[in-house]
Structure formats: C-alpha cells, structure tokens
Structure 1
Amino acid sequence: MDDELIDSASLSLPRKSQLPGTGFFYPDSLDEDRTEERVAEAVDGSEAVVIADTDADGLGCVALLREMYDATLEWATFESDVAARVERWERDVPVDAEDEDGEEDEPPRSTVALVGAGPYSLDEALENVAEYAPDGIDLYVCDLCPDEYAWIEDELAAASDLAASVAWYDHHQWDDETVAAVREAGVDLVVGESDEECSTDVTLRSLDYDFDEQWVELAAVTRDHDLWQKEDPRSDDLADYAYWVSPEEYVTVVGTFGVDLPEVVEQYIELRRVEKQELIEAAVSRAEMKQIGPWTVGVTYGRCSQNEVAEALREQGSDAAVIVKPAGSASIRGSEGFELAHEVAGKVNGGGHPRAAGCKPDIYDDMLDYAHHWTTQGATTKRVILRAFERVADEVTAESEEDTADEGSDADEDETDESE
C-alpha cells in the first residue's frame, strides 16, 4: 500500500476529520511487538516503573514520581525538537500528530520508567513489566482502573512478585470487590473521589515527599481540565500538549517548568490549535439532536477534541453528547442534567465517570465494516450507542416507578396504622 494513502497529514481537513490517523492502519501484532520492545528498553536498569494513562492526568502522576526520585529528564533533550516543530507549523508543513511525538531513535531514559497504558491494555503493560523489569523495583500504577479484577489478576500477581513494593493511585469509580481484591494482592491502593480529585491530586497527597508549591499548582490545573471544571485556561494548554507530544516530552516539561510552559511550547500549542478548532467546528456542524427519554442527546462524528465538541453541543441544548471517532471508539459526555455516561458506556463495551465515559462497540468484524463506518460517518456505532441510552432511560423509568410504588405502599401502611 502506498504510504500516502494512510498519511493523514496530506489530507484536506474534511477528509482528515472523517478518517483515522496513520497509526490505525498498523496491525495490532506490529504494535504489540514494538510496544514490548519499548517497554524492555524503558525499564532496563530502572529503580521504579510507573504504568500510567498517557493523558495529562496520568502523566502528571509520572512527573511527581520522577521529582520524588530525582529522575526528571533534561529539558534540553527536547527543546530543539520543539523548536523544529514550531518552524514546520509556521511554514504550514504539518505532520500527522501520531508521527509527531518527539521520539528519537534512542529516546532518553529515566531511572523512573514510564510504561504508557490505556484501560484496555493494562494487563499487557503489567505482563511486560513482569517480563522485563529488574527485580526489586518500586512499581506504581496511576490513573487506570480495571473493569474486572480477573482480567489483570495473573499479570498483577507476576508484577507484584517482581517488585519490592506496589502502589496504585487513581480517581475513577471502582467497585468494592475490585478494591478489596487489589488490596488483598498486597497493593497500596488509594482511590480518590472521582468528582473531586484527579489522579495527580491522589498521587500528590499519597506520596511521602515534601513537594513544593509548583506541584500543588500542577495538580490543581490538571484537575481543572480532567474534571471539566474549566476555570483555569492553562488546563487546556496542558491537556492539548499532552495529547500532541510524546509522554516523555510532556513529563519533562511539566516536571521542569510546572504549568508555566516555556515560550516555544506555547508557540507550538497556539499553532496546533488552528487545525484543532477547524476539526471541532467540522464535528459540531455534523451533529444531530435526539430525544431519548428525558434527555436531549447530541450525536456527531469526527476526529476532534471531544470535550470541546461536547461543550458546544451542551450550549446548543443537549444534556449528553456522543462523539463517534473514525477509529470506531466513542466518547460520551454528560452534564448536570445527565450523570449516567458510565452506565451507557458499560452497555457497549466501555466505562468511565458519570459525566465522562468511553466505549468501542464490538461491531467491527472486518475492514468492510470500517469502510462502512467511515463512509456513513459512524451510522452503526451511533445507532448502537443510542440504543444503550434507550436501555438506560428504561431502567431509570422503571426505578422511578418502583420508588413511587414503594412510597405509595408506605403511605398506605401509615394510614392503616393511624386508623388502628
């Protein structure tokens, strides 16, 4: 296949909005091999390993741990790369974001190794750490929550046998059984309130180290975006920068400068935001409003920043927003009027928070299904997720009717007692 066919950097914006990035077209087997090699290189000679989500919140946890271990990389390692990217974007010669991650042929290594993982790759990350990390490491897991303990049980046991200590810091919603099982496995698990703290907050208060005010501010600004409080404009800078560059670069920058990013980084963010805004506008223009039970649900499709799109749909009157991505996954965002995003996602192979969740319906059997997905702007995925909304609406109605019946029964009993 001609490389240009999958190089989304060369596409017009409307087409770029409707198709997945270059990395989508690499087979999972190649990604798994490459991931395994990268983990082996990263953990070689490490004293601590952090398995973390690679958004700003998960990477904030990594930055804290590197500060504690005095293992932050030098900013000079990345500064020239950032300047070169700024120069390319100023000349309007962008590259695909997935290729613009700042990684070198031999990336710098910290003694606190970072192993990036997502909700669906946590088991593989634990397995790779158990396979390649040195004996006696301190192991940390940050900003990740397993759907089921059984899914990671063996891998966590193997990693725990290797490690001198295991700590886990998170703020997602855990069920009691999973919490108990992880703790019984010997893990120091701290789970914060998902609507009050981000994982960087949890890590900051859990580590036995005297962090200065820079780190308190980093946690606060990270929380502002992660919980969608939207009170500090700097939180968008952190979130965007973490999304656009390599995890190592982001961790080094916030570990060195905190939330006061260097000028060249600010330049890069502003240049990238021009295209970001255009992709947001394209997704918002495609949106449709659906009435499901008591909720107005805005549904759209496109490669875009889902939080900003969801905010725009809320301003148009939606209680919830569904943003279907070209890669087949979807983001579900709620509001004060809809705090069941995790319930909807849970019915379509996903999960998350009451106001922010994600899923990827299990409906893609071959590339023809993906071709249909791209050419119909996610029609099947939208339909499956809207059905999940309908099921949740039915459950809410049934619960309400049951509560009403119970109240009526209690009232009848009170009247009987009074008559007697």
Structure 2
Amino acid sequence: MDDALIDDDGRSLSRKSRLPGAGFFYPDSLDEEYADRRAREAIEGAEAVVVADGDADGLACVALLRELYDAALDVAPFEESLAARTDPNLADDADEDADGEPEDSPVGLVTASPHSLPEALERVAEYADPGVDVYVCDLCPDDESIVETVESVVDRAELVRWFDHHQWDDAVAAAVREAGVDLVVGESDEECTADVTRRSLAYDFPDHLVDLAAVTRDHDLWIKEDPRSDDLADYAHWASPEEYVTVVGRYGPALPEPVVDYLEHRRVEKEQLIEAAVDRAELRSVGPWTVGVTYGRCSQNEVAERLRERGADAAVIVKPAGSASIRGSEGFERCHEVAGQVNGGGHPRAAGCKPDVYDDMLDYAHHWTTEGYAARQVILAAFERLAEEADAAADAEA
C-alpha cells in the first residue's frame, strides 16, 4: 500500500475526520510483535512491573508507584522532545542529539486494555524475574478466564496487588483474590484508580502527586470542576505512556511550559475535528431518552458535552476504527448497560464498546462511507432494549 494513502498529513480535515489513523492499517501481527518486544524490554530485570490502562488514570497510578520505588526517569529528554514538536527550528537539533529510546525504569510499564489484559499478564509471567513485585491498575477482567493467567503471575512474583475502580463481577473478584492477589476496588462513582492506588500504598506522597490523583479523578469521573483535568486527558492521549508518566510524576497537574505549548498546538486541529463530529450529529428519541449519535475521529468527551447542551441525555460517538464511546448525564446513568450488550463495558456515565459488525475490509469500507451506519443501529437497538425493559418493569409494578 502506498504510504500516502494512510498519511494523516496529506488528508483534508473532512477526510481525516472520517478515516482511522495510520496505525489501523497495520496488521495485528505486527502490533503484537512490537508489543511483545517492548513488554519484554520493560519487564526483564525490573524490580517491579505495572500493567496499567494507558489513559490518564492508569498512567497516574504508574507515576505514584515509580515515586514509591524511587524509579522515575529523567524528565529533561522528554521536555526537549516536546519543544521540538512545536518549534521546527529545534527539530533538527533534537534529531542530532537523540540517542534512541529513553532508558527503562526499574518499575517497568506495560500498557493494556481490558481485551489485551490476558496477553499482558502472560508476558509478565514469562519475562519477569522471580520475586518481582507486580501491580495491575485501572483494568477490570471480563470474566473468570483470567484466573489461570493470574495464578501464573502469582507463582512468579513476590507480591501481586491490583487497584481498580470499575464495577467488578463478585465471582471474578473472589476468584482473583483466591489466586493470591491483593485486590482493592474503589467505588466507581467516588474514586478513580489513582485515588485507590494512593490510599492503598503505605507512603507519604508529595503534594504534587496528591494533587495529580485529585485532578485525575475530576476528569475520570466527569466532575469537570478543575480545568487542569482536560489538560491531563489530552496530554495522556497524545503523549507516549513513558513521557506522560515521567512528566506528571515530576510536575503533577501543573504541567510545564513545553507541554502547555504542545497542547495548544494540537488543540487547533482537535477543535476542528470536534466541530465536524457535532455538525454531523443527530438526536434520536429512544423511550424516555434523547440520544445524540454521531461519527468521526474526535475527542468524544467534548463532543458528548456539546450534544448534552443540545438536549441529549446520552451521546454515542462511533469512531472510524469501529469502536464507539457512550457518554451519559444526570438523566442517563446506564452507559455500561448499553455497552455490555455490544461487546463492551464501563461506568454508568461513560462506557465503550466495539460492535461485532466487521467481518472483512468491505464491512469497514461500508462503515467509513456510511459514517458508521451499522454500528449506530446496533447501539441504538441496545438503548431500545433498555427502554423496553424499563417499560416492562413499570407495567409489572403497576
């Protein structure tokens, strides 16, 4: 394939909004090969290993744990790289001075999603030194099939601690604890996982990391009272996991000037993509709710907020890569129930899913040219089933 066909820099904003990023077009086998190699580099020889979600909440936990182990990386190379991304005059100098990837921390980081969690834990069991400390943060397994892999990690490690705030199935939680894991699950509507991690560790964290957990909670629980939470969310999305962990580990939510400049630079296009998604949105009445539905590469939280301003109780943002984000409000706190019907899960006001409607690339071609029609219909049907269940329950009560 011609690289120009998947090069974001060569696309108009309209096309960029409708098509997935270049990484989508690389085979999973190549992604798996890279993930395995990078995980092995992070795990082998590490004093501790953290398997964490790659969002702001999961990565904040890593920053806390590296503080605990006195294992933070030097922030200077990352700040130099950030400056070069916004100033072309510095880019050549940064290339000349670069010595490759930053050194690995004694606390290795392996990012994972709920779907890739089993593979991440298998790599820890295979590559970690005997007696290692293992932490799992901001990840909730789908079912009890994870237990066998967890047992392999427990056999390898000195200790295994798991911090989370998602809604766990009681049987899964009991099975993980029986395997020998110290599992702490916070209330999903009161704490983020960074909160759970901070209070679970016997350590007096510095003020900037206490503040980091608080601002991360503001973002992760959709409290939206601290403007810095949007900065953390954007930076976690755009930066590499190691860069984010290192910078917020050093500064907390008071991000340094190179990061602020970088965020301003990236937000110009971000705002344009948000506007494109909002412009193509439609409002649908489903039972007692108004559901805003749209499609596009965009920041789903901001799009959902604008759809709420237009009267939506819930928002569905279908992405070109095939997944979808579901966001709620005070009038709709059942996002996780909708997502649970469509190969996903999450929280009452924020969830994600990937409808099983893609058998081959022709289905993806249809997805792009119809702006996610099949995925939108499947998700709306899930809302309709919830409405029908609510009506049936009301009739039964009457």
Map of 1:323-362 to 2, 5 A cutoff? 323-362=317-356
The residue that corresponds to 1:220 in the other structure is 214
TM-score by length of 2: 0.96
Deviation at 1:214, TM superposition (A): 1.5
Map of 1:146-161 to 2, 5 A cutoff? 146-150=141-145, 152-161=146-155
Secondary structure of the 2:87 match is helix
Instruction: State the AA in 2 paired with 1:375.
Output: T
Deviation at 1:89, TM superposition (A): 11
Secondary structure of the 1:164 match is strand
Correspondence 1:381 to 2:369: no
The residue that corresponds to 1:96 in the other structure is none
CA contact (8 A) 1:89 1:271 kept: no
Whole-angstrom CA distance in 2 between matches of 1:106 and 1:204: 29
Whole-angstrom CA distance in 1 between matches of 2:104 and 2:254: 24
Correspondence 1:232 to 2:226: yes
- Residues 356-380 of structure 1 deviation map (CA, whole Å, 9 limit, x = unaligned): 0000011100000000000000000
Deviation at 1:179, TM superposition (A): 1.2
Instruction: State the AA in 2 paired with 1:397.
Output: D
Identity of aligned residues (%): 69
Deviation at 1:9, TM superposition (A): 2.5
Whole-angstrom CA distance in 2 between matches of 1:384 and 1:90: 48
1:195 to 178, 189, 192: 189
Whole-angstrom CA distance in 2 between matches of 1:403 and 1:182: 38
Q: Which runs of 5 or more structure 2 residues have no equivalent in the other structure?
A: 92-97
Whole-angstrom CA distance in 2 between matches of 1:160 and 1:26: 34
Deviation at 1:400, TM superposition (A): 2.0
Whole-angstrom CA distance in 2 between matches of 1:376 and 1:88: 38
Deviation at 1:104, TM superposition (A): 7.7
Whole-angstrom CA distance in 2 between matches of 1:144 and 1:187: 14
Whole-angstrom CA distance in 1 between matches of 2:4 and 2:100: 22
The residue that corresponds to 2:301 in the other structure is 307
Whole-angstrom CA distance in 1 between matches of 2:102 and 2:156: 25
The residue that corresponds to 1:95 in the other structure is none
The residue that corresponds to 2:94 in the other structure is none
Whole-angstrom CA distance in 1 between matches of 2:47 and 2:77: 21
CA contact (8 A) 2:151 2:180 kept: no
Correspondence 1:266 to 2:260: yes
1:241 to 232, 235, 239: 235
Q: Which runs of 5 or more structure 1 residues have no equivalent in the other structure?
A: 92-102, 405-420
Whole-angstrom CA distance in 2 between matches of 1:62 and 1:106: 19
Correspondence 1:116 to 2:108: no
CA contact (8 A) 1:89 1:272 kept: no
Deviation at 1:403, TM superposition (A): 2.5
Whole-angstrom CA distance in 1 between matches of 2:338 and 2:127: 38
Instruction: State the AA in 2 paired with 1:190.
Output: V
Deviation at 1:232, TM superposition (A): 0.5
Whole-angstrom CA distance in 2 between matches of 1:247 and 1:367: 30
The residue that corresponds to 2:7 in the other structure is 7
Correspondence 1:172 to 2:173: no
Secondary structure of the 1:106 match is coil
Comparing 80-89 and 281-290, the one that deviates more: 80-89
- Residues 234-292 of structure 1 deviation map (CA, whole Å, 9 limit, x = unaligned): 01001100100100000000111111111111000111111111100000000011100
Deviation at 1:156, TM superposition (A): 1.1
Deviation at 1:108, TM superposition (A): 1.9
Map of 1:112-151 to 2, 5 A cutoff? 112-150=107-145
- Report the CA distance shift for 1:251/1:79 in structure 2 as closer, same or farther (over 3 A): same
RMSD: 1.4
Correspondence 1:74 to 2:74: yes
State which structure, 1 or 2, has the greater radius of gyration over its C-alpha atoms: 1
CA contact (8 A) 1:320 1:333 kept: yes
